[in-house]
Amino acid sequence: MRYFIELSYRGTAYHGWQAQANGVSVQTTIEAALSQRFGYPMYILGSGRTDAGVHAEQQFAHIDVPEPLALSDSLIYSLNCILPEDIAIKTIFPVRPADHARFSATSRYYQYHITRHKNAFQSGLTYHFRPELDEGLMNEACQLLLHTKDFKSFSKARADVTNFLCRLDLAYWERSRDRLTFHIKANRFLWGMVRTIVGTMVEIGQGHMNLDQFETIIEAKDRNRAGRAAPANGLYLVEVTYPPEVLAERILLG
């Protein structure tokens, strides 16, 4: 039987979502907790890979098991007691055998948070960036992004993909008091794409790059032309979207 796991995590202490040979990952930490709780090796597959230091308010993974799980609030509670404080399982629910955490997803929504002033309670959770940024100009750049299909200029050079095409559903900057938040939603994201876009737009917001130069970077399809990637700590995976039938059995527990 196949189950989906809905969870969240603070990525500061982890070398990304995917299992790594040289560091602790979110995936392997959850697998260890599941294996301990159920008494046999368990393996999960996530909706996508987040980089080292990136956070997730909502992430999904699927797991295949030989016998039905006895789903209950106490099961979720026991798993969360095994897991470290920076990973939380929200619910586990059955899905159809063909439903896939990665390939059944229709979109992913990320936010990137920038703050100008130091906050003792947000350390490691936002990008503390002192210079003023012109979000109006950055939003003009977003309009160019929304007409873009090929994002090769914003993908890490070693990305293992057959193409660099993405369909953006939204891209905009929003200011709220001291915080500047970038919202971006697409059917898929390339390795390092959001952080590279943010890093390039920070150049625009400071007046170090104009819109014509930004458009030239997009058209170049060359990662070396884009700006430096923004730090991982400001980036959050906020929502993963699936067709309603995939989430039909989803009940929040824990």
Enter the tokens of residue 180.
């500047």
Alpha carbon of residue 30 to chain centroid: 17
| Whether the Cβ atoms of residue 39 and residue 232 lie closer than 8 Å to each other | no
Amino acid at position 48, single letter? G
* Helix segments in the chain, DSSP class H: 26-38, 73-82, 135-146, 193-205, 211-220
Exposed e or buried b per residue across 97-121, where buried means at least 16 C-beta atoms within 10 angstroms of its C-beta: eebbbeebbebbbbbbbbbeeeeee
Q: What are phi and psi of 143, to 5 degrees?
A: -65, -35
| 110 carries a ligand binding annotation | yes
Q: Which residue has the tokens 């527990």?
A: 253
Enter the tokens of residue 172.
């905009």
Catalytic status, residue 51: yes
| Whether the Cβ atoms of residue 136 and residue 66 lie closer than 8 Å to each other | no
Q: What is the DSSP string of 147-201?
A: T--B-GGGS-TT---S--B--EEEEEEEEETTEEEEEEEES---TTHHHHHHHHH
Among residues 51, 86, 160, 222, the one annotated as catalytic is 51
Question: Binding site: what residues are annotated?
Answer: 110
Catalytic residues: 51
Binding-site residue set for substrate: 110
